Amino acid sequence: MTRPIGILPDKAREVFGIPEGYEAWTGIAIGYEGDPATLPDNLKQRDLTPRQRKPLNVFTGKWGNPAPFLTKR
């Protein structure tokens, strides 16, 4: 049995209260960075390739509740 890759947008909308007009396109896993040397070659190259990232926009629990680390100054 193979595991699905990616997220379940309808489930994300239900769990996090994402309003109409917005879509869940991605999800992240939080953990510890592993050693790229342990990856298969096809994943190793992808993992080591530099990326450009968009600004961080994180909420917790439900839509519109920013993560505490974003609101503390």
Give the pLDDT band (50/70/90) at residue 63. confident
Q: Is residue 4, in this structure, part of any structural domain at all?
A: no
| pLDDT at 1 exceeding the cut of 50 | no
What percentage of the chain exceeds 70 in pLDDT? 77
| CB-CB neighbours of 24 under 10 Å | 16
| pLDDT at 4 exceeding the cut of 70 | no
What is the model's pLDDT at position 3? 52
Q: Is residue 42, in this structure, part of any structural domain at all?
A: yes
- Give the domain range for residue 40: 9-65
4: its two tokens: 């699905």
12: its two tokens: 């994300």
Total number of domains in the chain = 1
* Mean per-residue pLDDT, 7-17: 87
Q: Is residue 72, in this structure, part of any structural domain at all?
A: no
